[in-house]
A and B are shown apart, each in its own frame.
Chain A
């Protein structure tokens, strides 16, 4: 019954946080449990030091963007590789990979890099569709490469080590970037994209490098700090905020107090909308456990097949489907408690599964109807979302190939965490 109510409320367009809350209240009423459980579970769900990393990483990303780091990053890669055939598409993808080291959110990447790259690409003769598609799809790399907000949320739910998750995202993130570069290279050759005839001088490259250095060293400081035990992932997020404030106010001098205040406000609202889902999911999770839903789902799946390869395929297909219409973090919050026990029952490591989930659901950022990166790219490229989505299909196929590669070759995911953390 609860499943039917849950689905009905979800389909009716009620906010996901309240779908979880209302379904839970109906269940509590049905089994005659005290309603005090609502506040107990919701309060405990939010009172978690790990979750502080979510607003702090969002804040750091927004501050970096306002500090002018993104412009410098894009500019440096433009100087470096903008002159080769199809170079602007490569700049777009490589800048996204580096931007991912600053913020773990896909839509922020599309907005920041897209607003610079899409007009530049259009100006140099690329189609609006292609410019929008490259921007949207390259933004899906962001949440895989550390730091990643999606991985913090997954870690908080699954109790998997966030430092390990961050490290595990490295190779899959780079593979995604490489696959997209291959598609971009193929397009550049086939479409005979323009070549910028400008000779590079060593001085321009050196200047560009030093301008970008502060952005490039940031992920090194964060990950280095986490791995050396100087700070926890949450503290790393706090340090990232401090770093962004210092760079913005005192080095680049592009950040203003009024901008800082509005960024703090925007971040708090965003945090409210994301973490209220997690708080309600904490209440709903109690019901899932009481009703043994994860076990029922696992049993149902294994009754269809006991072949781990097919089960993993089914999980991936389900996640790809959910990712098309549900916000990534909401989907992670909802599905981790159900799918993780199933994945573990077929021998998948929680860290490996976390990376599969994050990569998979992030592909949904560039697929209609709820592809947030498409939604953000569409007005910048000044064309309808569907046309960008269509142009993104070859890139999506490349990303899905990488997804299946990392799903079936766990070493690609587990190598870096094993190397650094044993």
Chain B
């Protein structure tokens, strides 16, 4: 249980960091979009980098926001039919789906490796702001890593919250 409490503490801290990141990120998007309008129409000097930076910020807002949403099971799903399953089967399906999601996320984390390697070798940078693309892909990978972490925590939490068979039987008696 001590280990579990530590994991919960890490999860909470991670969520807090992600929360601050997405608040800043969305605030920055709104600021840059308005700044672009101001520079183009008031100062007649269009900004070249605001579109690019806003788009990249959106990618991370989505990935980090989705990580928190995943921790709190806020993802959009079709539950009408799965709710009809008997409770024991529903539990098995819930754990099974979380494991499936975890495997998929592992693929997502591994997937940008080639892109990162290529970007490092060719020293590719983003066209307007000049950020190395390898950094952007690493952050992208990190977004999926956060999701994987929360899915694993959810699976453990789900298993721990299930009362042992014996207890159920005792309760029934």
Q: Taking beta carbons and an 8 Å cutoff, which residues of A are in contact with B?
A: 9-18, 21-22, 25, 34-40, 42-43, 46-49, 51-52, 55-56, 59, 230-231, 234-235, 237-239, 241-242, 261, 264-265, 267-277, 279, 325-327, 330, 369-370
A16 to B171, CA, bound (A): 37
With contact pairs A16-B77, A46-B62, A325-B80 given, residues A59 and B107 touching in the complex (Cβ less than 8 Å): no
The 10 closest A-B pairs by CB, nearest first: A272-B65, A238-B33, A13-B82, A15-B75, A272-B66, A268-B22, A39-B112, A38-B111, A39-B111, A268-B65
User: Which residues of B are found within 8 Å of A238, using beta-carbon distances?
Assistant: 29-30, 33-34, 36-37
In the assembled complex, B74 has its CB within 8 A of some CB on chain A:
yes
With contact pairs A13-B77, A14-B77, A261-B23 given, residues A35 and B110 touching in the complex (Cβ less than 8 Å): yes
User: Which residues of A are found within 8 Å of B81, using beta-carbon distances?
Assistant: 11, 13
User: Which residues of A are found within 8 Å of B77, using beta-carbon distances?
Assistant: 13-16
**Could you say which of B3-11, B93-101, B152-160, B161-169 contacts chain A?**
B93-101
User: Which residues of A are found within 8 Å of B54, using beta-carbon distances?
Assistant: 49, 52
User: Which residues of A are found within 8 Å of B62, using beta-carbon distances?
Assistant: 46, 271-272, 275-276, 279
User: Which residues of A are found within 8 Å of B66, using beta-carbon distances?
Assistant: 17, 272-273, 276
* A342–chain B nearest beta-carbon distance, Å: 23
Which one, A39, A59, A269, contacts B108 given CB within 8 A? A39
Which one, A11, A22, A242, contacts B104 given CB within 8 A? A22
A231 touching B111 by the CB < 8 A rule? Answer: no
For chain B residues 14-53, which have a beta carbon within 8 Å of chain A?
Answer: 19, 22-23, 25-27, 29-30, 33-34, 36-37, 41, 51
A43 touching B104 by the CB < 8 A rule? Answer: no
User: Which residues of B are found within 8 Å of A46, using beta-carbon distances?
Assistant: 58-59, 62-63
* A67–chain B nearest beta-carbon distance, Å: 15
With contact pairs A12-B82, A47-B56 given, residues A272 and B61 touching in the complex (Cβ less than 8 Å): yes
* A304–chain B nearest beta-carbon distance, Å: 26
Q: What are 17 A-B contacts defined by CB distance under 8 Å?
A: A12-B82, A13-B82, A15-B75, A16-B76, A16-B77, A18-B97, A25-B104, A46-B62, A52-B29, A52-B55, A235-B33, A242-B34, A264-B26, A271-B61, A274-B76, A275-B62, A370-B78
A369 to B81, CA, bound (A): 10
User: Which residues of B are found within 8 Å of A38, using beta-carbon distances?
Assistant: 107-108, 111
Given contacts A47-B58, A273-B65, A279-B62, 6 further A-B contacts (CB under 8 A): A13-B93, A35-B111, A39-B137, A46-B59, A272-B62, A273-B66
For chain B, the count of residues having a C-beta within 8 Å of the partner chain is: 56
B78 touching A21 by the CB < 8 A rule? Answer: no
In the assembled complex, B131 has its CB within 8 A of some CB on chain A:
no
Specify which of A47, A272, A326 lies most central, judged by the most chain B CB atoms within 10 Å of its CB.
Answer: A272
Which one, A12, A235, A270, A274, contacts B93 given CB within 8 A? A12
Which one, A15, A239, A264, contacts B23 given CB within 8 A? A264
A265 touching B30 by the CB < 8 A rule? Answer: no
B55 touching A268 by the CB < 8 A rule? Answer: no
Which one, B33, B75, B108, contacts A237 given CB within 8 A? B33
* A348–chain B nearest beta-carbon distance, Å: 27
* A403–chain B nearest beta-carbon distance, Å: 23
